[in-house]
Amino acid sequence: MVQKRRISRVVQIGDIAIGGSNPVAIQTMWDRPINTIDDALVTRINNLKELGCDAIRFGAPRLSDVELLGALAPQLKMPLIVDIHFDYRIALRALDFPIAKLRINPGNIGMERKVFEVATKAKDKGVPIRIGVNGGSLLSSLKDEPNRAKALVQSALDEVEVLERIGFENIVISVKDSNPEYVDEAVRLLAKSCDYPIHLGITEAGTLIPAITQSAFYLGGLLKDGIGDTIRISISDRIEYEVMAARQLLSLLKIDERRMPKLVSCPLCARNSFDTHYFAQKIEERLYGMQGDFTVAVMGCVVNGPGEAGHADLAITGAGNKVFVYRKEERIFSGDAQEAERFFLEQLTLLEEASMHATPRA
């Protein structure tokens, strides 16, 4: 069971509020440079919203990047966050556009005068700043601190102090490391040390399996203890997986207010007469866009297929040389695999339409 939520200040990121008792927001980060804005780009990003993404972050190493991101922001269905290191002029220019948040490290920006200029403009525009400290870019004065978690938190609080000194408190904080144990310790310490919203993540968490496993174990543990206001599951793979993994985690912890269908699918064995791997993957992303407390089962054979179908709202299962489709417990189709798949997808569309009348997230 999830413990009582740590209640932080509320920070507005475009049209979503984070912190306080607001839902934990899901973020991802675009994984390559943007040289042009076209329909394919806008569509792919907006599809992330359908999967459950609440905000997307872009690195902007060049001044020309923020010009493109400024043009992109109004075309997106979710807040756009700009991530800037070193050159404060890029941050200043980014603030001329309808961006929802800046991620900077004052330590990387350099002289306090430059940080002051960025924070003053962000304050005028109502744009929050995330202080994002990573183990790989700790301030040199803290690199020798033997307690890594303490060093991460101290670094973040030092950065926060720079902003607070100039009256800027519209802040979100993250303390990330590639070692999840340090992240766990640092976030818990940070949660006790301030009341700013905390963004959770393990940086450079690796490929799909280690990234999801570490994030589920460590970030899930923090969320279970009521800590964390936004989350990114960083994966060296498709950004869609980052959103889907975060969604699964929040759903498992029952802290995602968006009701998501449950997919039951068997792993296959020698008895199968229906390829569940192929078919489950084919429908998986569609399910993320659906609202509702229903279950879809994709099963390989009659050993467990009809039994699972009995618990599902819609099910498909191999059955010897036939494939059956069930709605609730009732078998409503029997035929070859191709026809059964087509029939199942039609039924899924009906469920999808019904789900659109379910209450979406506010």
Residue number of the CB closest to ligand SF4 reads 300
In the bound state with ligand SF4, the residue whose beta carbon lies nearer, of 179 and 273, is 273
Q: β-strands 314-319, 322-327: how paired? A: antiparallel
In the bound state with ligand SF4, the residue whose beta carbon lies nearer, of 146 and 320, is 320
In the bound state with ligand SF4, the residue whose beta carbon lies nearer, of 250 and 319, is 319
- Interface of this chain with ligand SF4, residues 249 to 268, rule: CB under 6 A: 266-268
Least Å distance, CB 309 to ligand SF4, is 11
- Does 95 contact ligand SF4 by CB under 6 A? no
The answer to whether the CB of 78 falls within 8 A of the CB of 48 is yes
- Does 301 contact ligand SF4 by CB under 6 A? yes
Token pair belonging to 358: 């379910």
In the bound state with ligand SF4, the residue whose beta carbon lies nearer, of 14 and 300, is 300
Q: How far apart are CA 283 and CA 183, in angstroms?
A: 34
Token pair belonging to 286: 């569609």
Q: Which of 105, 361, 125 is nearest to 255 (CA)?
A: 361
- Does 337 contact ligand SF4 by CB under 6 A? no
In the bound state with ligand SF4, the residue whose beta carbon lies nearer, of 59 and 300, is 300
Least Å distance, CB 208 to ligand SF4, is 22
Which of 42, 253, 303, 351 binds ligand SF4 (CB under 6 A)? It is 303
- Does 142 contact ligand SF4 by CB under 6 A? no
- Does 272 contact ligand SF4 by CB under 6 A? yes
Least Å distance, CB 325 to ligand SF4, is 15
Q: How far apart are CA 314 and CA 115, in angstroms?
A: 56
Token pair belonging to 193: 């040390």
Which of 183, 211, 231, 299 binds ligand SF4 (CB under 6 A)? It is 299
Work out the burial of residue 178: count CB atoms within 10 Å of its CB; fewer than 13 is exposed, 13-18 middle, 19 or more buried.
Answer: middle
Q: Which of 56, 118, 45 is nearest to 88 (CA)?
A: 118
The answer to whether the CB of 348 falls within 8 A of the CB of 10 is no
Q: How far apart are CA 254 and CA 298, in angstroms?
A: 23
CA 12, 17, 21, 26: dihedral to nearest 10 degrees?
Answer: -120
The answer to whether the CB of 337 falls within 8 A of the CB of 322 is no
72 phi/psi in degrees, rounded to 5:
-75, -40
Q: Give the helix/strand (H/E) hosting 167.
A: none
In the bound state with ligand SF4, the residue whose beta carbon lies nearer, of 26 and 323, is 323
Least Å distance, CB 307 to ligand SF4, is 9
The answer to whether the CB of 171 falls within 8 A of the CB of 199 is no
- Does 269 contact ligand SF4 by CB under 6 A? yes
Is 194 assigned a ligand-binding role in the annotation? Answer: no
Is 308 assigned a ligand-binding role in the annotation? Answer: yes
**In the beta sheet, which residues pair with residue 299?**
317
- Does 320 contact ligand SF4 by CB under 6 A? no
Which of 271, 282, 342, 361 binds ligand SF4 (CB under 6 A)? It is 271
In the bound state with ligand SF4, the residue whose beta carbon lies nearer, of 211 and 299, is 299
Other residues' Cβ atoms within 10 Å of the Cβ of residue 146: 6
- Does 315 contact ligand SF4 by CB under 6 A? no
Per the annotation, where are the binding residues?
A: 266, 269, 301, 308
Binding site for ligand SF4 (CB under 6 A): 266-269, 271-272, 299-301, 303-305
Per the annotation, where are the binding residues for [4Fe-4S] cluster?
A: 266, 269, 301, 308
